[in-house]
Structure 1
Amino acid sequence: MKVVFCFFLCFGGNFKWILLVDSEDTPTFGSKNIPRLLTKDVITGGFDYPVYQNHTILFYHEESGEMYVGGTDFVLKLDSEGYQITKEVHLEATRDEQCQEDVCHNVITVIERFEDILFVCGTNGHSPHCWKLSPYILEHSEGTGISPFMYTQNSLSLRVEGDLYAAAPLDADGSALQFRRKAGKRANVWMYDSWVSEPTFVTASWVKRKDDPDEEKIYIFFREKNSDHSPEADPWISRVARVCKIDEGGSKRFFQNVWTSFLKARLVCGYPEESLYFNRLQDVYVQHAEDWRDTRVYALFTSSWNSTAVCIYSIKAIEDIFNNSTFKGYDKAIPHPRPGTCVKNSRSLPLVTVSVVRDHPEMSDWVHSVHYKTPFYVSNNNYTKILVDRVQAVDQNMYNILLLATDYGKVHKILEAGSEPFIISETHIPSQSTIQSMKLDSKKKKLVVSFAEKISVVDLQSCQEYNKSCADCVLARDPYCSWTASGCTPTVPDGIQNIIDGQTRVCPTTVSDHTQVNRSRRDAAPPVNVDLLTLPAVPMGVPFYLSCPIDSYHAVYTWEHRDQSSPCLQMHTNCLFLIPAVTPESYGSYECVSKERDYVNVVKRYHLTQQINQQTRTDGGKASAVAAEIVCIVIGLSFALLSAQ
């Protein structure tokens, strides 16, 4: 429902429009499906580009903590503290007969690092090229199959030890798109043409196995065209595929330089019992673990009904499908070695094993999420990117924080604690364009976001947002923050937190400048540190309103007056109480009360008094004007609500 609030303000008897509020995007009190808090003042760095960028990428090197930005004709190295530019390398397109003035740009699409060498590739005026930088341009090479011809074409890249894996079109029209080992120490290997149908590659990830490196796999996440063209079928199917790192391709007479270990399976996110699925994979974040079996895949999906979902998968469960499922369309005895097996000499694999990979690479069984029956998180927000940070809390446990970004710069911070998501906050990054790239600096707890016009840096430890009280800090359930003698600060070992359930019983019961009384019952005495605000006297008959700030959208707000409780009228960041016309019963004390989990809090206290005997004033008209100037509101709220339904 779309609701429009129309306000008039009186000055000296003259009514004027003062506010028109569209509440279509206003969160609803008490719902757990919205951010608890709308944060502000969390942008801690960044810079503007000299000119707008059609396409940018971010590359973060975890070992060195260095961040790089690739744009049109340049690569920037950012300072590791303030994320300012410390180095700029210009890589303009090489002019040739294909390079016309209007397209003669080199849009950087790949940045990878091999030891001390920065490997960079770009469109190079529709003639893909790569460069090695350290610290100057050392050499360059042809880049077809690594960089796309145009930045709008699908591509991805992945460095694995000394090798580069990439997916990029082999033709200028964007066709012949496949995943390859394209450069490095090992032989180049590519895909068989019939394995995928018009794929859109999302990401690729190398999962290490320290105890058995010969079993290490490269996992590829993508969506492809559905072979089922019936009206009720979604045009896309989401997939996970994998190849062995040690795969060198087949023998010279069969499958030479083609993956012998390629297998794929359907990635399912949705409600299996209702056969309702989110089929369009949008983004993936792979959270690696010391034990490869604990590695988890966080996948972001969209649907044909304009909803998005996050499903979480276990790499072990994915491997179980590849190791144990039958092969779709194959009804004979499974040969030995099993198709897809990692062997040290793939060129010696028997023909019957490689033939199954060639003709039947798809698994019959589907890959289900760890929650199986439902996605971990479903939303109507148009999320486009996902990152996951791992944070150690006061209780020494590690918690996962999902960072979900919409295309136009809203970032939701979501706690994964058990099977239920908890939406901590929403940060809106002011911008004039959509998010192009996003990287997490987990060491510094910063989120770096690239737009067409600028780079913005978001502080994930914005604990000042919960600094009103210990209860406010604890209710946030933000593992980045804990309550200390200095207020809500970045988490320290002796801080106060309750990430598991957010109950405020862990807070001290004494009242100080930074704490408020924890009221466990509605009839508990109000906290003494909330000032009672005595308003200027108001005459009878005039409209009037009271307001208090919204500290949490997960709380339920009410106004209490004369032993009566009234719901709050929500105005995005404020809670209102409207009096259409002041009567004798309207005078007295009012409390704006919030209730969240085990915490009941008086946010504001007012005392409304009557303006007496205004007929005896020397200027009755002046008195009426003064009364009106206090805050005289005429509101067509009831009509607006009814007409909007």
Structure 2
Amino acid sequence: MAGSTPDPRSAFQEGPGEPVPSSGSAGPPQPGGHPRRGPGKMLGGTVRVLTALLVAAVMGYPSRRSATDLDATPRTTVTFDELSGVRRFSGHSLNYTTLLLEDERGILYVGARGAIFALNASNVADGSHRTIHWEASPEKRLDCLQKGRNNKTECFNHVRFLQRLNSTHLYTCGTYAFHPLCAAIDADRFTLPARLEEGKEKCPYDPSRGYTGLIVDGGLYTATRYEFRSLPDIRRNLHQRPLKMEESPLHWLNDADFVASVLVRESKDSPVGDDDKIYYFFTERAGEETTSFFDKSQVARVARVARVCKSDVGGKKILQRKWTSFMKARLVCYIPYYEVLRSVCSLDGGSWASTVFYAAFTLSAQWRTMEASAVCRYNISEVQRAFEGPYMEYQDSSRKWSRYDGAVPEPRPGSCITDGSRRRGFNSSQDLPNSVLDFVKLHPLMFEEVQPAGGEPLLVKRSVAYSCLAVDRVRALDGRSYDVLFMGTGDGWLHKAVVLDSGVHIIEEVQVFGEPQPVETLVVSHKQRSLYVGAASGVLQVPLASCARYSSCYDCILARDPYCAWDGRACRDTASRDSTGLVQDVQGGNAGCWSGSGRSFLPWKNRTVLRGDDVLLPCDQRSNLARAVWLLNGSEVPGAGQERLRVGVDGLLVTDTLPEHGGEYRCYGEERGLRTLLAAYSLSVLPELPRAAAAATAGPHTASQVAGDAKVVYVSTIVVLVVLCAVLGIVLLYVSCLEKRKGKYVLGEPRPANAELQTVSASCLRKGREKEEEEDEEELAYPDGCLRIIPGEAPTAATSPVKELPAVVPPPPLPPPPLPLPAELTNGVGALPSVLRKMNGNSYMLLQQDEPLASPLCSASFTEELSKILEKRKHTQLVEKLDESSV
């Protein structure tokens, strides 16, 4: 995608909504997918998603909207070359994926491979950063290599954990070449301590393993596969009661790949004295019945949410130092097997009861022929409902999990200690009866699934693989709060979307990296009004709002960006000034501009073409959601059904023009009922060549004949130039062997074919005459001048220096007569060039003397003496060596 990425909208369409790709290479796939894909691929992808929705309905997963309704198109596309206001930081490391933002302190901490950085949050690129170098030791790297690990990716210290431990220290962990280590860093001094801690219980050994961690009230809660032969686990460290998961007789986790963890302070203002909980999100192998609808031979992977209680201290005799509150439930997005969970983020509206989770999914392995992503929203109430429902039980006979309908002991297994539990004498998990703890060991999985809000996905995006999510809640001018989603893709793009009553509106898609690479981490800063993007190559600071991109009131309103509003003259960030007089319509996207404010008064552009020629009238549509509307002399040009008029996203193409095609053309962008003038043209169609052009020709010629004659002239000129070069070569060869005066002119002693030629400086004439006066007795003098070698490309006929050619060389032919063409036709297609352009041929050299040659060129004395002179002057040579092509 780097460099000159073709415009993803450059294709003509036969009708609205049916893009036809242009010929040639389509370029790399874009995250939106909609502009570049032909109708077949688009239809195939839509059919697959529709099939998935149909299967979802059959399996009991209803959806009120079709896949095409859920597949939102980004309104605008911003390529890498169009980016503005983005700051970048990159040191000598890789994998800048662990980010910790301390907004009030104005510091962004970054954990990378072999280094930890402290950046200025207001400007990550100002150069004021501090660095801790934390490379793996050579001994550990050698040990890692001897174990068969990859010395280019794995045998390094990848910083995987970085969070605030207390008011004075940060806590960090790294893989350290498959020997994990952790350390407490003094935040003020920003240096590593002299002694590091063992990290096998806190950090994964493998940098590619899924991992998540939180520090809650001094305790370290992590989830990953900690050792090569160990099972995935959720553990608590840095706590007086370390805990981990039970492994027998049932594994609570089945090849789990962890994605995220979230703390929910459910004890705050709790009427029942509930406990705080940590929620874990991951993907694991499914064990339920009917695990795979499409491919029975494959084990399906499903998304899960699990929880533990912060005050859990394990059991007294059973589940000692093990979790007694662990429960997990399936997380569904209501399209079968969008079950590979990629990212999770959360928001609360000021209280834990309003907490919502946003999750991004991609297709599982069963859908190899299609790439798509889904985004779902979950309320905390739905998660709680699943954990308060029926349990599942593992059946040894079928080796599957199925619903458990037996008796459930009291207090409820897996629940936290509440005021009701305390009144019954259960003040901690160690007071729970053995029956409850035995039940917890065998029933970690819940029967109820966690359903998304509204019963369907917020977004289903074709041809995109979302890799991470971040969310921000913005209060708009209408008094409502809107959730703004930032979604990073696997190929270096960023989608910005707003959640509306009608669904998700993608405001823009931005190419934040020139080289395709996954967006790994996203962090929102309210104070800096920035989004921090972490990836393999560096850290980016992207403004939350880019309101300056919207040049008119209609453009600003149609963007439906909660960060932006129109102030009467420009589109402004709503946080930059008082909201008085600002106009915004996030929900509708088409109200607020006064009459005429959407019209732009553009200068007319004149176009003149000959009858029968083609003409393209460009009309740049910045919005992918807008429809081009063309008016010819006040009447709308239909987009389809016209043989000679083709309306495309690039403009209007008129083929085989007729006189009646002349007139005034206006191009409007129509979106949500609003029209904005984008271009205006005055087209003139000439029935024949103008008189001036006709007089210049020998007779009446048609346009095709003129073009043919021009080609003949060009070819003739090229042939003449080739012949001239051949004649020059012959003449120079003849002159070099012709004896006119004493001595020889040679370029040097005979050398192999690959030897470089030495040249005599232009000042040798003066020095040669001084030499003649001083050494009268010798017969070496060249008062008639010196040989000069002038390298360079062959000049064109219009610029060749005729006066510098030797006298024996015939003068070049006269330049070709002007082409019998009229003035340049402004038809947008491009007329033939009026002069012969410079050709990329082989370079040649011009041999030139200041005075005519008269001495013979076959004397050996001159050769010897010239060699002596060159030997004396080789250290003061002023002329650079000629390149091989010039010689």
- Regarding TM over 0.5, the answer is yes
Amino acid at match of 1:484: D
Alpha-carbon distance between aligned partners in 1 of 2:828 and 2:25, rounded to the nearest angstrom? 18
1:171 aligned to 227, 233, 236, which one? 227
Which of the numbers 224, 242, 246 marks the counterpart of 1:188? 242
Contact 2:258 2:282 in 1 (8 A): yes
Any gaps of 5 or more consecutive residues in structure 2? 1-7, 13-21, 37-67, 146-150, 394-402, 418-426, 641-645, 698-705, 707-818, 832-887
Residue correspondence of structure 1 range 483-522 to structure 2 within 5 A: 483-491=566-574, 492-494=578-580, 495-504=582-591, 506-509=592-595, 511=596, 515-517=597-599
Tell me the alpha carbon deviations over residues 3-42 of structure 1, each in whole angstroms, 9 at most, x when there is no partner. 9979xxxxxxxxxxx9956287574599972111113424
Which of 534, 555, 559 is 2:626 aligned to?
555
Q: Is the 8 A contact 1:313 1:369 kept in 2?
A: yes
Counterpart of 2:682 in structure 1 is 607
Residue by residue over 1:441-491, the C-alpha shift from the partner in whole angstroms, topping out at 9 and shown as x without a partner, is: 23322121223222222112100111x211111111000100014410101
Other-structure match for 1:22: 26
- In 1, Cα distance between equivalents of 2:231 and 2:598: 64
1:546 aligns with: 617
Deviations 1:243-277 (A, max 9, x none): 111101111x2111101011111111124xxxx34
- Between the two proteins, the alignment pairs up a number of residues equal to 594
The answer to whether structure 1 residue 60 and structure 2 residue 125 are counterparts is no
Q: Which amino acid aligns with 1:497?
A: Q
Quick check: 1:226 aligned with 2:286?
yes
Q: Which residue of 1 aligns with 2:764?
A: none
CA contact (8 A) 2:554 2:676 kept: no
Aligned counterparts of 2:35 and 2:156: Cα–Cα separation in 1: 47
Q: Which is further off, 486-495 or 359-368?
A: 486-495
Match in the other structure for 1:619: 696
Which structure 2 residues correspond to residues 358-377 of structure 1 after superposition, within 5 A?
358-372=441-455, 374-377=456-459
Distance 1:302 1:234, change over 3 A: farther
8 Å CA contact retained: 2:9, 2:650: no
3-state DSSP of counterpart to 2:388: helix
- Does structure 1 residue 200 correspond to structure 2 residue 291? no
Q: 1:97 to 1:114 in 2, by over 3 A?
A: closer
* Letter matched to residue 498 of structure 2: L
Q: SS in structure 1 opposite 2:118?
A: strand
Any idea what SS the aligned residue of 1:610 has?
strand
Residues in 2 aligned to 1:419 and 1:255: alpha-carbon distance in whole angstroms: 48
CA offsets, 1:540-597, max 9 Å, x none?
A: 12111100111311111122225242329687xx522112222111111111122111
- CA–CA distance in 2 between the matches of 1:438 and 1:286? 13
Q: Distance in 2 between matches of 1:555 and 1:428?
A: 21
Q: Does 1:456 align with 2:551?
A: no
Q: What SS class does the counterpart of residue 282 from structure 1 fall into? A: strand
Given the alignment of the two structures, is residue 90 of structure 1 paired with residue 142 of structure 2, yes or no? Answer: no
Question: What residue in structure 2 maps to residue 123 of structure 1?
Answer: 175
Q: Aligned equivalents of 1:597 and 1:476: distance in 2?
A: 11
The structure with the larger Rg is: 2
| SS of residue in 1 equivalent to 2:437 | helix
One-letter amino acid of the counterpart of residue 286, structure 2: N
Q: Read off the aligned partner of 2:176 and give its amino acid letter.
A: N
> What is aligned with 1:638?
none
Match of 2:184 in 1: 132
| Contact in 2 for aligned 1:5/1:22 (Cα 8 Å) | no
Higher strand share: 1
Seen in structure 2, the aligned counterparts of structure 1 residues 331 and 430 have a Cα distance that, compared at 3 Å, is closer
How far apart, CA to CA, are the structure 1 residues paired with 2:285 and 2:83? Answer: 43
CA contact (8 A) 1:448 1:457 kept: yes
- Residue type of the alignment partner of 1:508: W
5+ residue gaps, structure 1, are: 7-17, 518-526, 635-645
**CA drift at 1:118:** 0.9
The Cα of 1:170 is off from its aligned counterpart by: 2.9
1:471 to 554, 566, 577: 554
Pair 1:351-2:434 in alignment: yes
Deviations 1:105-155 (A, max 9, x none): 321111011222111110112110001111222342111122111211222
Q: In structure 1, what is the Cα distance between the partners aligned to 2:674 and 2:448?
A: 47
RMSD after superposition: 2.8
Q: CA deviation at 1:104?
A: 5.1
Matched with 2:118 is 77
Deviations 1:193-218 (A, max 9, x none): 21110000111111013213742111
- Amino acid in the other structure paired with 1:190: K
Say yes or no: does 1:33 pair with 2:33. Answer: no
Contact 1:95/1:125 (CA < 8 Å) preserved in 2? no
Q: In 1, Cα distance between the equivalents of 2:664 and 2:25?
A: 28
Partner in structure 1 of residue 523 of structure 2: 439
Superposition deviation, residue 629 in structure 1: 6.5
Distance 1:615 1:625 in 2: 7
Counterpart-to-counterpart distance in 1, 2:556 and 2:622: 11
The TM-score with structure 1 as length reference comes to 0.86
Secondary structure of 1:614 counterpart: coil
Q: Which among 366, 373, 381 is matched to residue 316 of structure 1? A: 381
Matches of 2:207 and 2:514 in 1, distance apart?
21
Equivalent residue letter for 1:141: E
Distance 1:219 1:516, change over 3 A: same
Q: Residue 331 in 1 paired to residue 372 in 2?
A: no
SS of the residue 1:319 aligns to: helix
Preserved contact between residue 445 and residue 459 of structure 1 (Cα < 8 Å):
yes
Amino acid at match of 2:252: W
